[in-house]
Amino acid sequence: MTTPTNTVADAAATRKRRMSRILGLGLLPILLVTLFVVLGLIEPRFLRSANLINILRNASFLMLIASGQMLVLIIGGFDLSVGAVVALTSVATALSMTGLVSVFPEAQLFVVLLGVMAGLAAGSMIGVVNGLTVAFMKVSPFMVTLGTLSIASGIALYATQGVPVYGMPDEFTREFGRLRYLNLPVVIYVTFGVLVALWWVMNWTRLGRYIYAIGSNAHAARVSGVSTTFYIVVTYTLCSFLAALTGILLTARIGSGEATLGGTLMLESIAAAVIGGVSLRGGVGRVELVALGALFLALVTNAMNLVRVDSKLQTIVIGVVIIVAVGIERFKSRGKIR
């Protein structure tokens, strides 16, 4: 475009693009730093290393599950079942470990390994069901995952009758659950590794490219020869796998299998993803920002705990944060529609 009007229009477009990039990228880190500084100033306990590690640990659980939620949101879906998957995984892991430990009392490490695999498999199965139903029956992901949410938490509750399952090997609950390296809980390392791997997948592999493409315009992806159904199933499975991983790490930390674990994680995972700039209409989202979104939520929760906000009031604050985040997301995307 060489005409002067077009150059002006181009410059305006560039400015607009830069503006939206600042809105999308810059706001969250700035908000985080501000929150951090303000908290540090008004509440000295905030800066204690034990508190900071605690925030990082809580954020890690959320980052894991939110990055799974992000995958599903980017492909244009929705996963309400992640919280129930955490519960199901917790129960499946605990029950299989306690069962196996009586069979192989000497081989605790083997029992732990089998138990972890059983938990991951049980959780991921829910994702397979979600993916197959969404991809082939073309049912709205909202309803499908609402259904599997009910099924998964039903199984978990029925299997335990609502009673926590104790008796897992010490290797799992003590050694692994409280394992630290350089004074940081092992969860943080696991999460960091997963996030880096996901970043790589989303930016440098065909799988990542197709997840964006399908969420952006499924029809276009299909006519370009992308097997959309296959990638939808893979994405839902990955999401549930990450939720299951979260479930195992949480179980190791609390030391028992609980059918009520992860009750708030579904809402929080969606919140963290949306705060991190993931579009509810699909096609847009970056794992590094979702991690920041999760960190933001963990900070807010921690701050409320420190200044002793009633836990019942806290859920109200989280609700407000979610609505504001969705409002900002909507506002940002309005300019893009032509």
Q: List residues near other proteins by CB under 8 A.
A: 1, 3, 13, 17, 204-207, 209, 212-213, 215-217, 219-226, 279, 283-284, 336, 338
Q: How far is the CB of 76 from other proteins (least distance, A)?
A: 11
The SS3 call for residue 185 is strand
Between 95 and 213, name the residue whose CB sits nearer to other proteins: 213
Query: Which of 69/279 has CB closer to other proteins?
Result: 279
Q: Please, what is the minimum distance in Å from the beta carbon of residue 236 to other proteins?
A: 19
**Could you give the angle at the alpha carbon of 314 between the alpha carbons of 313 and 320, nearest 5°?**
95
Helix axes 82-103, 141-160, angle to 10 degrees: 30
Nearer to other proteins, 7 or 150 (CB): 7
Residue 124 CB, nearest approach to other proteins (Å): 20
DSSP letters, 122-176, are HHHHHHHHHHHHHHHH---HHHHHHHHHHHHHHHHHHHHTT--B----HIIIIII
CB nearer other proteins, residue 108 or residue 235? 235
Q: Could you tell me the smallest distance in angstroms from the CB atom of residue 11 to other proteins?
A: 14
Q: Measured between alpha carbons, how far is 296 from 66 in angstroms, rounded to an integer?
A: 12
CB closer to other proteins out of 2 and 102: 2
C-alpha 270, offset from chain centre: 7
Between CA 176 and CA 326, with CA 264 as vertex, the angle to 5 degrees is: 125
Cβ closest to other proteins, residue 113 vs residue 226: 226
**What's the closest the beta carbon of residue 85 comes to other proteins, in angstroms?**
26
Compute the least distance from the CB of residue 178 to other proteins, in Å: 37
Buried b (16+ CB within 10 A) or exposed e, 292-316: bbbbbbbbbbbbbeeeeeeeeeeee
Shorter beta-carbon distance to other proteins: residue 209 or 253: 209
CB 290 within 8 A of CB 270: no
Q: Cβ distance 293 to 209 under 8 Å?
A: no
* Shortest reach from residue 220's CB to other proteins, in Å: 4
Nearer to other proteins, 182 or 223 (CB): 223
The distance between the two most distant Cα atoms of the chain, rounded to a whole number of Å, is: 80
Q: Give residues with Cβ within 8 angstroms of 278, minimum separation 6.
A: 70, 73, 74, 284, 285, 289, 290, 329
Minimum distance of other proteins from residue 123's CB (angstroms): 24
Rounded to whole angstroms, the Cα distance separating 269 from 68 reads 9
